Structure 1
Amino acid sequence: MDLKEHIRSIPDFPKPGILFYDISTLLAEPAAWKATVERLAEAIEPYRPALLVGIESRGFLTAAPLALHLGMGFAMVRKKNKLPGKTIKHTYDLEYGTDTIEIQADAVEPGQRVVILDDLLATGGTAAAAVHLLRSVGAEVAAAAFIIELSFLNGRDKLDLPVHTLISYDD
């Protein structure tokens, strides 16, 4: 099954000049979504993670069903002030400013093998920040996986770990 056929492209969203790759149409097609989860499972199983970590917010849609499929736990990396309880945060630079992500302090055990998931890898800034955050709490980040990669933005170059993607757009 060609998963690319189930991705909708929306021009000028969220601002003019941006072409947004929407996974809503993939999620709405059960056979395509099942194939996506199964292919991601095949890609990350060799890393033997104990926990999958989804990056807000579409990374939750990717990581949670995959964790269930693989019989393992799921944790969330979210924007600041979105998680209850004690959190650990990491602030990182954006093209114009900064952003902060957090994880609950007790979400990952020191030495625990994790794989990071999100729907899309673009510039790699948020994924690199998630890797940094997880390592700061003692996680062993084994790999990262994404449904879509915008390879022309070279985001994987910011990640010093194996990166798996199912769909690539080259321009």
Structure 2
Amino acid sequence: MNDLRSRLVAGFTWRSDPPVWPATRIYYADYSSWWRDPAVLAEIGPALAGLFRDAEPTVVLGTESHGFLLGPLVALHLGIGSAAVRKKPERASHDEVWLVRRTPPDYRDRHLDLAVRRSVLRTGDRVLFVDEWASTGGQALACRQLVEDAGARWAGAAVVVDAMESSADRRALDLRGVLHIRELNRR
């Protein structure tokens, strides 16, 4: 795990664009090189699953877009399936049943509609949520509501970077990270 953590920190960069945001000095997280590193890809699924060793999930839930990558990696390690949560879902037919929830404001002060097909989130499932980053926890909170709407149980939230602003939301989500934002030094 220490080798993975070192690779994640080394492959991370804070970026800013002063001509666009000179007064606010907004920094953006660039972790795109993580997905290029085969060692990170091999180790990230087991690392996220390991944060919840005793939870015994029956499905992994991941949001568009990085949750679509991480969900199957974690699910494969656990020997279970993965369910995809879409942003702005569109029905392909009238007989599709979707569970839909709106997020609280995210880091850009947006509200997103998140949805999962009812057929992939089943009553009685124990659901492990995964994502690459959590700061406001808005998507995880909305996903927890989707889980409850399905009659399933929330096992917890495993993220690569825990940047949660609210410790109360961290506890409510049982959110655990491979890294904490403090480990990603700002320039």
Deviation, structure 1 residue 82: 4.3
Out of 9, 21, 25, which is 1:4 matched to?
Answer: 9
Per the alignment, residue 178 of structure 2 pairs with: 166
Partner of 1:98, secondary structure, is coil
Deviation, structure 1 residue 83: 5.9
Deviation, structure 1 residue 51: 0.3
1:36 is the counterpart of 2:27:
no
Between stretches 77-86 and 66-75, larger displacement belongs to: 77-86
Unaligned runs of 5+ residues in structure 1 are: none
Q: What are the superposed Cα offsets for residues 21-65 of structure 1, whole Å, 9 maximum, x if unpaired? A: 233211111113322222112112321001000011111111111
Measured at CA, do residues 97 and 167 of structure 1 come closer, stay the same or move farther in structure 2, by a change above 3 Å? closer
Kept in 1, the 8 Å contact 2:75–2:81? The answer is: yes
Larger radius of gyration between Structure 1 and Structure 2? 2
Per the alignment, residue 72 of structure 1 pairs with: 80
Out of 56, 74, 84, which is 2:64 matched to?
Answer: 56
Kept in 2, the 8 Å contact 1:64–1:74? The answer is: yes
Kept in 1, the 8 Å contact 2:103–2:141? The answer is: no
Per the alignment, residue 157 of structure 1 pairs with: 168
Aligned residues: 168
Kept in 2, the 8 Å contact 1:83–1:104? The answer is: no
Kept in 2, the 8 Å contact 1:125–1:158? The answer is: no
1:133 is the counterpart of 2:146:
yes
1:120 is the counterpart of 2:125:
no
Give the RMSD, CA atoms, in angstroms.
2.2
Kept in 1, the 8 Å contact 2:104–2:111? The answer is: yes
Kept in 2, the 8 Å contact 1:6–1:32? The answer is: no
1:91 is the counterpart of 2:102:
yes
Separation of aligned partners in 2, 1:139 and 1:18: 38
Deviation, structure 1 residue 98: 3.1
Deviation, structure 1 residue 105: 1.3
Separation of aligned partners in 1, 2:43 and 2:141: 27
Unaligned runs of 5+ residues in structure 2 are: none
What amino acid is aligned across from residue 18 of structure 1 in structure 2? Answer: I
